[in-house]
Structure 1
């Protein structure tokens, strides 16, 4: 099971979010491999943590902030993000991050 699903215009990325983290980071895959762990310092109020997650993923992948958007899970720690770009390049960048 992978944390992403390829699309023609990019990929859908499953993430598990830890808000209010002391150190924001991308922490690898969840134990079952179904989600990318993302820690953000923002609190989960008024969508601040959601925006921080999108920005963190965009920065880690070397993309513009507008290339990552929240698809599902706005009020949950389990979220699905839509990442726009070349699918092969995105998968390559993700695999480098996780290595």
Structure 2
């Protein structure tokens, strides 16, 4: 299963988040043991009181050049594996993500 998919609302992304990762950034795509792909991300924030989730939303908003309100956490608020929806033109967002991953 791919790490992201285009939906009618935008782009749905499966993410494996590493809090206290030393920097804020994307680290590419990883294959999990069960065969699913996830986008690896890391943030400097601690995983307490939603700080890491807020930092992830800010990171993705910067990467996709959208407002924070267009990025929503749909699953995994207290887990490392998260599901994010970036609202907007899904095809354009997917192309932007693919281009960004080629730069890593």
Q: In the TM superposition, what is the alpha-carbon distance from 1:31 to its structure 2 partner?
A: 3.5
Equivalent position of 1:18 in the other structure: 18
Give TM-score scaled by structure 1 length: 0.94
Long gaps (5+) in structure 1: none
Q: In the TM superposition, what is the alpha-carbon distance from 1:34 to its structure 2 partner?
A: 1.0
Q: Are residues 1:74 and 2:60 paired?
A: no
Equivalent position of 1:87 in the other structure: 90
Long gaps (5+) in structure 2: none
Equivalent position of 2:54 in the other structure: 51
Question: Runs of 4 or more off by more than 4 Å in structure 1?
Answer: none
Equivalent position of 2:63 in the other structure: 60
